Structure 1
Amino acid sequence: MYLIADSGSTKTDWVVLDAQGEVPETFFTKGFNPTIVSTLFIIDALKQSAQFLKAIPATKKIFFYGSGCSTPELNNVIIEAFRLFSPAVEIEIKNDLYASVHATTGNDPAIVCIIGTGSNACSFDGNQVTDDDFSLGYILGDEGSGSYLGKQLLKDFFYDTMPAAVSKAFNDRYHLKRNEVIERIYRRERPNEFLASFVPFIRDHIQNEYCRQMVEDSFDSFIQYFILRFAHAGDVSIHCTGSVGYYFKDIFEICLHKHTLKPGKILVSPMDGLVRYVKKYLIS
């Protein structure tokens, strides 16, 4: 049996793959981005997952594709957690951009993006992934992402630059106090997830020009920093996975066209394509 995981900063999607290549079970856990969580955090989260505890004793290999998995040191944060549950299990860890590549582009050259809680992009030449360690994270970067949008929304609310109607709706929904937000962002774990938690509000009010323009400006920044750095950006399709890119895909496509770029596949999750890839190339 095999476990396949696609992990962002907010949640991890898991698929159990049996010896016949069937999927008897799928489940979710918290996100395991090793740049912001510890091995102990991962262990605690896995202990709370009945599905993981049921599957791991019979698991031959774990294929883990994760946000933040960009160096051996960071990968070890994940590996050490898995070893507690199964010392002998094989573990393959790759950056989550590889999952997005496998799910979207096949063997065709492309630029592949992730726009979810965080954001990133890479180039794929049909064989190799390159330039996949570019994102500066939620404090310095993550343009286009849920954490980036949430940060802008909170700034506008507390600086009182948000349109009155939107500000009232935001206050009625969340009842946030400045000191509570400061505490949550600067003194607690996973602040990027907290920031991204306000994306549903933006989605619910996307017909308001303020919210729509915020998303458009955010995507323009993402394109400027992450996509246009590639000289061949105008020659290949631009694929994307992740909830923010997917839920605002009409705006994302408009922004791509504005920069004379060609939209490709835009998926909420790479998992279906990732499972097909693992079955075809990694365990056949």
Structure 2
Amino acid sequence: MILVVDSGSTKTDWIALSDDGKHLFQTQTLGLNPQVLSQEILRERIVNNFELYKDRKKVKGLYFYGAGCGTTKPRELIREVFDEIFKEADEIVIKEDTYAALYATATEGEKSVVCILGTGSNCSYFDGNDIIQKVVSLGYVLMDDASGNYYGAELIRDYKFGKMPKYLSEKFETEYDLTSENIKNHLYKNPNPNTYLATFARFLIENKDEDYCQGVIKRGLSLFIEHQVVLQFPNAKDIPIHFVGSIGFYLQAELKEVLKGFGLTPGKILKRPIDGLVAHHKQHILEA
């Protein structure tokens, strides 16, 4: 049995395949971002899942694509967790989540830019054969433009500074606990501060037709497109720009408008990459 895993900071999709590519089961855990979680929490989130723990000794291959796995130390940290739990696995492959987005959207031999807009954000270039990462993400504090956590931070700041329209501000405070103590506890004491910030993006999506929300949305998208696409890839206007993630999916009308403003062509816009990722691995099983 092999496990194909797509992990963001908020949630993780697991699909088990037999040795001949048949679907065995699908399950979900909380996000497994090794940049913001300890080994103890990572391990707990996996072993508390009934299907995964029950079948842990049957796993011969694990293919994990995750947020926070772009550098060596986080990959090593989560590998130690996998080694401890899935002791019978002959092969454990850990790659950044941009590879999952790539396998779900890009066509072999065709150049494209592949972006992630979910809890966090990221972008890579596919030259038709290999993936090229121009900018290594520094996480939600310094990067992640147009992500769920970016928009959450923008909403909280505008609310606290009085920049949000009064009628929206009143609606905002009825839906969330916006006391300073609660916000600071989530940001500086509790795990997953990026995921906490991303919970506020729902408000932006649900009220996206409001002029204020349109302004916030398009500012964030413009920053992302400028920083991650236009400034990095001189040929961006000549190739499709693919997107994976809930923010890109639910805000795709605004996303297409911003792309048009930069003279860029939208490609596929998917909510999640797991189906394309599984198809990729099934193909490799059949070819083996």
Please indicate the TM-score interval, normalised by the length of the shorter structure.
over 0.9
Instruction: Give the counterpart letter for 2:5 in structure 1.
Output: A
Q: Distance in 2 between matches of 1:53 and 1:87?
A: 12
TM score, norm. by length of structure 1? 0.97
Residues 57 and 87 in structure 2, CA contact (< 8 A), matched pair in contact too: no
Shift of 1:203: 1.2
Q: 1:252 aligned to 2:275? A: no
SS in 2 for 1:93: strand
Deviation track 1:150-206 (CA, whole Å, cap 9, x = no partner) reads: 000000111111000100100111142122211211222110000000111111111
The 5-angstrom pairing of residues 1-284 of structure 1 reads 1-89=1-89, 90-107=91-108, 108-131=110-133, 133-228=135-230, 229-281=232-284, 284=288
Cα RMSD after superposing both structures: 1.2
Residues 120 and 132 in structure 1, CA contact (< 8 A), matched pair in contact too: no
- Count of aligned residue pairs for this structure pair: 284
Shift of 1:5: 0.4
Shift of 1:132: 5.6
Residues 20 and 285 in structure 2, CA contact (< 8 A), matched pair in contact too: no
Any unmatched runs of 5+ in structure 1? none
Residues 245 and 268 in structure 1, CA contact (< 8 A), matched pair in contact too: yes
Instruction: Give the counterpart letter for 1:103 in structure 2.
Output: A
Q: Distance in 1 between matches of 2:80 and 2:259?
A: 40
Q: Distance in 2 between matches of 1:250 and 1:235?
A: 21
Deviation track 1:201-243 (CA, whole Å, cap 9, x = no partner) reads: 1111111111121111100000010011211111110001011
Shift of 1:133: 4.7
Instruction: Give the counterpart letter for 1:141 in structure 2.
Output: M
SS in 2 for 1:263: strand
Deviation track 1:6-53 (CA, whole Å, cap 9, x = no partner) reads: 011111111011123121211111111111112111111112100111
Q: Distance in 2 between matches of 1:253 and 1:126?
A: 23
Between 87-96 and 245-254, the greater mean CA deviation after superposition:
87-96
Instruction: Give the counterpart letter for 2:162 in structure 1.
Output: D
Deviation track 1:73-114 (CA, whole Å, cap 9, x = no partner) reads: 211111111111222312011111111111101211100000
Query: Could you list the runs of 4 or more consecutive aligned residues of structure 1 that deviate by over 6 angstroms after TM superposition?
Result: none
TM score, norm. by length of structure 2? 0.95
